[in-house]
């Protein structure tokens, strides 16, 4: 039987509705949660991400503002902006969109953000708190994955979770969050030996690699839960015919013809759907959860720092 879909669009909407309802209560008490998003340079993908974050805030009644700086911005100039946002009481969350241009010292910027406003959860204080299992602002994408599993009541405790990817943004915090939910966790990366064999031991397999359709059916145990975090562009019609299930091919080819690409994750849908018990589509899987979690973190930051409730 083909795998069942973990529908991130649906779950993300439900979570955003919940944020909107809780935000409305805070606003009635005179507290409007506010998010400042900072973007440096002209990265097209970053512009799309920032745009959808600001739009989501507006839809939920949160204050949002976008700060756009030129690609030539220096570390000191960006630090000055972060510090001015730290000082403003009505700003609860500060998100500096990554990647930053090469002349900017990214770590210094992330460490300059007030940990209480660090809605991306990348500050060393929040990384440390997450590692200690204490309440913290945690990175949006891996937190969204846990929310998705919880929504579908997929058990985590006692399961073997294999996370492919060890980035600070996804892989490492994902492993930590699964560990705190009592999974047995294996972290894999580019130097892991016989990756397909390790992946096949997973009850829950998370792919956060950034390589188009790398995880094939050969990596998946029968009935496993497969979470595809990757977002990649596929431009070749022949590749699209090879990696997507028959039913999806016409719409994918249309996407390539119109825009020049179709979105695909790190998982090869055609072969994995035949093996997995559950899987996340791309688009419409993990992506919408990331934005929903950002909204939730902004609300959480507002309540932590200046909430009465
Ligand atoms: P990254 O490049 O920082 O990390 C990739 C990780 O994959 C590394 O740890 C590396 O060791 C591992 N890796 C690379 N090649 C490998 C191989 N051949 N075999 C095994 N492991 C390998 O990327 P990231 O920031 O963690 O993002 C991963 C993917 O997730 C990207 O496609 C990115 O676009 C996507 N992403 C999606 C969302 C979302 O909202 N859905 C959010 C963040 C990132």
The residue ranges of every structural domain in the chain are 29-114, 140-286
What average pLDDT does range 235-241 have in this prediction? Answer: 98
Tokens 């991306």 locate to: 120
pLDDT of 131-149, one tens digit each? 999 999 999 999 999 999 9
Q: How are beta strands 160-164 and 262-264 bridged, if at all?
A: unpaired
User: Which residue out of 210, 219, 265, 283 has the highest number of ligand 1 atoms within 8 Å of its CB and is therefore the one to mutate?
Assistant: 210
CA 303–ligand 1 middle distance (angstroms): 32
Would the CATH topology of 29-114 be identical to that of 140-286?
yes
- What is the rounded (10 degree) CA torsion for 246, 247, 248, 251? 110
Instruction: Please say whether the beta carbons of 82 and 96 come within 8 A.
Output: yes
Catalytic residue among 97, 159, 174, 296: 97
Q: Would you state the structure tokens that stand for residue 172, as one six-digit string?
A: 């490492």
pLDDT band of 127, cuts 50, 70, 90: very high
Residue 182 has pLDDT above 70, yes or no: yes
Catalytic residue among 53, 117, 221, 300: 53
Residue 52: CB within 6 Å of ligand 1?
Answer: no
Pick 140-286's CATH classification: 3.40.50.10860, 3.40.50.300, 3.40.50.720, 3.20.20.70: 3.40.50.720
The chain-wide mean pLDDT, for the chain, equals 97
What average pLDDT does range 172-181 have in this prediction? Answer: 98
120 is catalytic: yes
Residue 280: CB within 6 Å of ligand 1?
Answer: no
Domain 29-114, CATH: 3.40.50.10860
Q: What is the pTM of this model?
A: 0.97
Residue 286 has pLDDT above 70, yes or no: yes
pLDDT of 187-209, one tens digit each? 999 999 999 999 999 999 999 99
97 is catalytic: yes
Instruction: Please say whether the beta carbons of 181 and 235 come within 8 A.
Output: no
Backbone torsions φ then ψ of 134, nearest 5 degrees: -95, 160
Q: Report the 10 Å Cβ neighbour count for 124.
A: 12
């Amino acid at each position: 039987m083909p795998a069942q879909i973990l529908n991130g669009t649906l779950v993300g909407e439900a979570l955003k509705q919940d944020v909107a309802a809780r935000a409305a209560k805070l606003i009635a008490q005179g507290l409007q949660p506010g998010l400042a998003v900072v973007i440096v340079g002209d990265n097209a993908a970053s512009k799309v991400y920032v745009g959808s974050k600001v739009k989501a805030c507006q839809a939920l009644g949160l204050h949002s503002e976008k700060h756009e700086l030129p690609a030539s911005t220096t570390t000191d100039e960006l630090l000055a902006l972060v510090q001015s946002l730290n000082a403003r009481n009505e700003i609860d969350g500060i998100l500096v969109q990554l990647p930053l241009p090469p002349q900017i010292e990214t770590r210094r910027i992330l460490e300059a953000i007030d940990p209480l406003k660090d809605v991306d959860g990348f500050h060393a204080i929040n990384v440390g708190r997450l590692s200690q299992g204490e309440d913290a602002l945690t990175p949006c994408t891996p937190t969204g994955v846990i929310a998705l599993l919880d929504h579908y009541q997929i058990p985590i405790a006692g399961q073997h979770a294999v996370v492919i990817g060890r980035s600070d943004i996804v892989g490492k915090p994902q492993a930590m969050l699964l560990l705190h939910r009592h999974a047995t966790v294996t972290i894999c990366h580019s130097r892991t030996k016989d990756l397909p064999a390790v992946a096949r031991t997973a009850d829950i397999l998370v792919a956060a690699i950034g390589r188009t359709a790398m995880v094939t059916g050969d990596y998946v145990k029968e009935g496993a839960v497969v979470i595809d975090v990757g977002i990649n562009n596929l431009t070749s019609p022949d590749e699209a015919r090879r990696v997507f299930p028959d039913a999806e091919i016409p719409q994918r080819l249309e996407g390539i013809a119109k825009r020049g690409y179709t979105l695909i994750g790190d998982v090869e849908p055609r072969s994995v759907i035949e093996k997995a018990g559950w899987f996340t589509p791309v688009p419409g899987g993990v992506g919408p959860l990331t934005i929903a979690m950002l909204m939730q973190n902004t609300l959480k930051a507002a309540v932590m720092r200046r909430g009465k409730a």
